Chain A
């Protein structure tokens, strides 16, 4: 694999500060990339060290007894990831790793593709907050994607086939990162159809005083 998410994205993923759609793309890359899994593990170790070095806050005096009283609560039935789900055919199962696979409504050939232009089909995935763009593309080999720029960064993870643009060639597992200024025109390489996941990394998360206040209303 030649193109990995940059360390900033891996660290944001480990710290838990990436947006939902970026989480989905990074985690799907991790399924294909032991090297980045190691890096994320290292950043998680840093998180653990920061937690351990944090100054303790006072907790409610009855917190421990309240906790101990909950230990025998029955375990909620755990939803296991859908890897053993029979609804996917072998091609889908082997081409699309989790966690992306669970976000698809079915097998690659049965999805409700909508045509973007000739040779390019897309599906909008409902992930994250309003405004986060998460799209799954199928691009016929040899087809070029219309030239475009985007607000914020766009990350594209290739699942099958490959594409090339002025920044390089991207094949299975590779992540292309285009910042807002990059005016690029990717072309799917001849041969196999190119399947890829694209997300935009616009600053959407709720931070700052207003966002923190809104967060209060987003519980459970």
Chain B
């Protein structure tokens, strides 16, 4: 399968500070980050700035990228999400600290399960394309329009329960598709 090698590019950036690899990542992700940040309403020229800040973070943090944990797109999504929130709130987004003595650690995972993460992401992408447009749109709204479940409910004049069950339905569809893809 011709999975795009963005994970390999990221690893090359992390290990060798590979500028050509970074430029390729930028060419793919910067225009998509712009779509994401525009739709989520970051506001005018701030979009380009957050895109740059996020990609700069990608360059700096690439050595912490672990392809067993996430695909390149998931990793970059979380960086851009945090950059945007940090810029809006002017403080760092609350996150767990993996070194925290109070943290309850993960149970060890079977190695083969960990291996599958980025393949799983590729499967999610394929299944997303097969979702009915209405459901795909709802998921995009949840992720791309800065709307919590309760805000979507308030704005669409729907009871929160209805929004929850529609999103659940979309997720169930996604899960069914994934089961077909991965088994």
Contact = CB atoms under 8 A, between A and B. Distances in A.
Interface of A: 7-8, 11-12, 15-20, 22-24, 27-28, 30-34, 37, 41, 44-60, 63-64, 66-68, 70-71, 73, 75, 79, 81, 83-84, 93-101, 128, 152-153, 173, 201, 203, 205, 207-208, 211-213, 215-216, 218-220
Interface string B123-163: 01100110000000001101111111111001100000000
Contacts of B102: 31-32, 93-98, 101
B57 to A, nearest CB: 10
Given A47-B78, A83-B100, A15 B71 contact: no
Contacts of A152: 150
A23 B93 CA distance: 8
13 contacts: A8-B149, A8-B167, A12-B142, A48-B121, A50-B128, A50-B140, A50-B144, A51-B32, A59-B31, A83-B100, A98-B103, A99-B94, A220-B90
Name which of A54, A59, A98, A208 has the most chain B CB atoms within 10 A of its CB. A54
Interface in B34-68: 34-36, 38, 41-44, 46, 48-49, 51-52, 55-56, 59-60
B89 interface: yes
Contacts of A15: 81, 142-143
B84 A16 contact: yes
Contact of B97 (A60, A99, A173): A99
Interface size class of B (residues with CB under 8 A): 35 or more
A66 B143 contact: no
Secondary structure dominating the interface of A: helix
Given A47-B77, A208-B155, A219 B46 contact: yes
A7 B71 CA distance: 22
A205 B151 CA distance: 9
Nearest to A84: B99
A82 to B, nearest CB: 8
Given A51-B77, A68-B19, A45 B71 contact: yes
Given A16-B81, A70-B56, A59 B34 contact: yes
Given A34-B104, A68-B23, 14 more contacts: A7-B168, A15-B142, A45-B74, A46-B139, A48-B78, A51-B36, A63-B26, A71-B56, A75-B60, A81-B97, A83-B97, A207-B41, A211-B41, A220-B90
Contacts of A215: 41-43, 88
Contact of B88 (A60, A98, A218): A218
Contacts of B35: 54-57
Contact of A47 (B48, B89, B143, B154): B143
A211 B67 CA distance: 38
Nearest to B109: A38
Contacts of B128: 49-50, 53
Nearest to B88: A218
A64 B44 CA distance: 19
A189 to B, nearest CB: 21
A219 B124 contact: no
Contacts of B84: 16
